[in-house]
């Protein structure tokens, strides 16, 4: 499931690949909600393996929260996850399940963030899966104001900003997550057409 497009700046043109995952050498773009059931299962197994390697437990609750984030077609907030957990447990047990306490969910989210399985979008206070959970990387998120699509962009331009900041002001960036809001390539033509019709 790939869809290539071009990203241009004044000095370079980048080939941007929209895919679900994989290691890429150059700049690339991922839809964060484009996971098949098989890919979700692979991610859950990989998360369990990584936790075991690092001596941490991938508890049923951690797995459930991560799975809900992977399955979602939009960024999820903590209270969306609490509701999703309750719905999931109710479906499993056949009777109304007890609600998971917010602090428990927040601790679970902190764990998933620490291990790099998810990213937090602070501007909308929501969480999305990381497209490169095993790789240390800096990410830029593109949030569409029209359809709420979220894409993760990674690559050298982001690293160049981090390097520039270190060289110019001596600030060592430990984590870089940028959020850019605007219109995605699918919504832009429709919005432009509407603007032209209204003028």
Rg (CA), the chain: 19
* Top-confidence residue, 199 or 175: 175
Domain identity same for 93 and 179:
no
Q: Is the pLDDT of residue 170 over 90?
A: yes
Cα–Cα distance list, 199 to 58, 192, 194, 196 (Å): 55, 11, 9, 5
Indicate if 85 and 120 belong to the same structural domain. Answer: yes
Considering the domain architecture, whether residues 16 and 52 belong to the same structural domain is answered as no
**In CATH, what number is assigned to the domain containing residue 76?**
1.10.10.10
Considering the domain architecture, whether residues 120 and 191 belong to the same structural domain is answered as no
Number of domains in the chain: 2
Structure tokens at 150: 């979220």
CATH code: domain of residue 9: 3.30.1490.190
Which residues, other chains included, contact 197 with Cβ-Cβ below 8 Å and sequence gap of 6+? none
pLDDT of residue 22: 47
- Would you say residue 148 has pLDDT above 80? yes
Give Cα 92 distance to the centre of its chain.
27
Q: Which domain holds residue 83?
A: 34-130
| pTM for the full predicted model | 0.77
Angstrom distance (rounded) from CA 29 to CA 4: 9
- Residue 161 has what pLDDT? 87
Domain boundary among 87, 110, 130: 130
| 44: pLDDT strictly greater than 50 | yes
């Amino acid at each position: 499931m790939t869809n290539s497009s071009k990203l241009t700046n004044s000095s370079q043109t980048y080939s941007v690949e929209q895919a679900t995952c994989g290691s890429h050498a150059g700049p690339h773009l991922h839809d964060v909600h484009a996971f098949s059931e098989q890919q979700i299962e692979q991610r859950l197994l990989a998360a369990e393996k990584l936790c075991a390697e690092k001596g941490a437990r991938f508890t049923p609750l951690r797995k459930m929260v991560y799975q809900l984030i992977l399955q979602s077609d939009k960024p999820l907030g903590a209270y969306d996850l609490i509701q999703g957990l309750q719905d999931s447990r109710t479906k499993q047990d056949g009777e109304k399940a007890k609600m998971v306490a917010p602090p428990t969910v927040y601790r679970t989210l902190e764990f998933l963030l620490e291990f790099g399985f998810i990213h937090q979008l602070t501007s909308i206070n929501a969480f999305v899966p990381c497209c490169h959970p095993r790789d240390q990387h800096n990410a830029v998120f593109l949030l569409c104001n029209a359809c709420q699509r979220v894409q993760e962009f990674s690559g050298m331009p982001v690293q160049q900003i981090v390097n520039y900041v270190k060289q110019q002001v001596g600030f060592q960036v430990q984590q870089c997550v940028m959020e850019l809001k605007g219109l995605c390539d699918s919504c832009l033509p429709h919005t432009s057409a509407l603007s032209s019709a209204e003028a």
